[in-house]
Amino acid sequence: MRITMDRCTGLRACNLQLSTLLLLALLFVAPSLSIASSLSLDEQRELYQEAKTALSKGDQSKYKSILSRIGDYPLRPFLEYTELSKRLSRLPKRDVQNFLSKHDGTPIASRLRYQWLETLRSKDHWQDYLRDYQSNKATTAQQCYYHLARIRHGDKSDAILEGVKLWSVGKSQPKGCDKLFGWLIKNNQITESIAWQRYTSSVLNHKYKLARYLKRFFTSTRYQELAEEFYSVDRNHRLVGDYTFFNKYTLKNNNQEVYEVITHGLRHLARVDATTALKHWSRYQQIHEFTPTQKNQIITALVKGLYAQEHVTSADSYLTDNLEYVDVALLEWRTREAMREAHWHDVLQWIDRMPNELQQDNRWRYWKTRALQLNSTTADKQPSPKDDTYEQLSITRSFYGFLSSEWLGYDYSMAHRKTSASSEQIAQLEQLLGFIRTRELIYHEEYYFARREWRYTTRNFSEAEWITAAHLARQWQWHNGVITSMISASYWDDVDLRFPMAFKESFQRHASQTGVPIHLLYAVARQESALAHDVTSPAGAKGLMQLMPATAKETARKNNVRYRGDYELYEPEMNITLGSRYYSQMLKRFDNNRILATAAYNAGPHRVDSWTKKTESKLPFDAWIETIPFRETRNYVQNVLAFSMIYAHHLDNNERILSEKEKNQLL
């Protein structure tokens, strides 16, 4: 979205103010830049776009002419970076050095430094590489190049140690590390003990190709035997019962690496034969001292294995006897397993076994009260309106708070606490050169660079400064910046700032066309992308409502939407068009049940089909949500439903978190 300047809270109506602030910023924050030119901000912006076009066309003459006229425009360094990056292969050392010195520490300088180091490496200019390298900005490959260059230039001791650290990780490193690693191996810097550390990590991470390669470093009988046994145990977990072999090493030398092998084998064996694993564990722990972490891992695997293999009584007894060795995640898992079976008495028992701090979490406070009522033998299983826990939770703005209000018949509490920032506070931040650049990058729709500038400028902010930054971002209508700033401030109660009404016309239009409530569409977009329309997830989902390209293409086909390619998913209008229709499809597939549709939007409809099949329509809606197998999806559904009520509040809708049909349906 290009920021318009039609509002006083936008940009165009405040040109005079912004130009004044820009001048102040340049005078006090960036004295190295020239005095402000006579051009207006709008004229500088137009010249910036013209210069970018000239650079893209290779028109150096026009670019230089524009650069001489653009004056002190804040994004001038971005033009200089773009031009300089195009001629790095000619090794313009002085120009690069000047740029890096002038803009040291800024994101754009870090970007140029990376490209410059890659160029120097490709041309074997190692003295220059050593001079311009910065460790805190280097990739793994660049670290390897740097330490190899130090070794070749006589700075060996520390470089060798750092090189060994890079070699010792339990995964394959980039090819750029091959020469450094080759030198280390050739010069006998990789000892058997160092190789063993990497070998164990590689096997534990199931990097078998790497593990087989590492065996060549073992020349002693001890390490050769250990390596073979560890590899064998990983592939055949029953071999963990070879007491003679393991005692041979552990009793004599108390080797921790051997305990890792035993731990690894027992955990895997427990998944298929927990009773045998328990027998082995009972013997090993009598004569060996395992670490608390190892004990937790083994006991957790044994309890889950026994439970899955229908030794429920044994699993519960063993867990109860070993509560001091396990973490709270296992107790939460066991409680959800009882909930999945609708064993409400057991749910209560397991909650009671949780540490007091965990019991006081809103989630488990809610479930203790809810399970009490579900466990009731009376005909009336509705929560008592006098229940103190529901009363206390109902004043919170949360999924459990909203559900508590449902049971009590109350309106939802937004627990809103408005923040404020004075015009002076905002103006003070607005003068920072990083914020001036951020504002201009947003104007030019260069959001990736805008986020980098914002993060760099705010890296040492206090809570109060972050909140002021959020107010500034709201003035710019930069919704994602507002949301992420409030997250950084850890301030959760200003719901006006944290849940902005972005792209309202598009959401209204497509809510009307699809029949999906607008507050629900807003909630999905807010959860998916924090209202950043230009982002891509690690899995490849794109835009506001985080659509996978294949899903978008199929949704467009089904709904006769003209869709030209993945790049359109970064356009809010197209993303909302397809996202709303895909969500509508999920609603239709799951009989307008928002719980199932929302879970399907996140995890896929086939998984939801599988989950509902396993629960056999025996769970109340809230128990079904709480026992969703994927933690991400469980939190996703809870957040979307809660967020939908916050947006309903913004829209003055009297919507409820769920319909009576949804609340009464067993899943």
Same-domain check for residues 578 and 603: yes
452-494 residue pLDDT tens = 999 999 999 999 999 999 999 999 999 999 999 999 999 999 9
Average pLDDT over residues 66-95: 96
Query: Could you tell me if residue 113 is inside a domain?
Result: yes
Catalytic (active site) residue 528: yes
Q: What is the pLDDT of residue 387?
A: 62
Mean pLDDT of 509-538: 97
Identify the pLDDT of residue 16.
35
Q: Is residue 101 part of a domain?
A: yes
Identify the CA nearest to 551 among candidates 514, 499, 605, 598: 605
Do both 617 and 550 map to the same domain?
Answer: yes
Write down the mean pLDDT value for the chain.
90
Q: How far is CA 243 from the centre of its chain?
A: 43
What is the CB neighbour count within 10 angstroms for residue 328? Answer: 12
Judgement on whether residues 350 and 492 belong to the same structural domain of the protein: no
pLDDT in tens, 298-336: 999 999 999 999 999 999 999 999 999 999 999 999 999
The CA-atom distances, in angstroms, between 383 and each of 406, 620, 660 are 10, 13, 15
In this prediction, what percent of the chain has a pLDDT beyond 90?
A: 81
How many domains is the chain built from?
4
pLDDT tens readout for residues 181-210: 999 999 999 999 899 889 988 888 888 899
Q: Is residue 525 part of a domain?
A: yes
Domain boundary among 463, 479, 498: 498
Question: Is the separation of the CB atoms in 316 and 331 below 8 Å?
Answer: no
Do 530 and 594 fall into the same domain?
Answer: yes
What mean pLDDT is predicted for residues 89-94?
Answer: 95
* Rounded Cα distance, 570 and 579, in Å: 12
Residue 85 located in a structural domain: yes
Same domain for 305 and 236: yes
86 with 173, same domain: the answer is no
Tell me the C-alpha distance between 220 and 224, whole Å. Answer: 6
Are 349 and 221 part of one and the same domain? yes
Per DSSP, 618 falls in state: -
**Cβ-count burial of 582 within 10 angstroms (0-12 exposed, 13-18 middle, 19+ buried)?**
buried
- Give the pTM: 0.88
In this structure, are 510 and 494 located in the same domain? no
**CATH code for position 642:** 1.10.530.10
Residues 103 and 27 in one domain: yes
| pLDDT of amino acid 156 | 87
40 lies in the same domain as 181? no
Is 127 domain-assigned? yes
Let me know whether 371 and 491 are in one domain.
no
Q: At 60, is the pLDDT very low, low, confident or very high (cuts 50, 70, 90)?
A: very high
Q: 158-173: per-residue pLDDT in tens?
A: 999 999 999 998 888 9
pLDDT band at 249 (very low <50, low <70, confident <90, very high): low
- Structural domain includes residue 403: no
251 vs 237: which has the higher pLDDT: 237
The boundaries of the domain holding residue 463 are 423-498
Domain finish residue from 127, 154, 181: 154
State yes or no: pLDDT of 24 exceeds 50: no
- pLDDT tens, residue by residue, 338-369: 999 999 999 999 999 999 999 999 999 999 99
Choose, from 80, 337, 528, 626, the residue flagged as catalytic: 528
Last residue of a domain, one of 435, 468, 498: 498
541 and 508 housed in the same domain: yes
Identify whether the C-beta of residue 147 lies closer than 8 Å to the C-beta of residue 135.
no
**pLDDT of amino acid 255:** 67
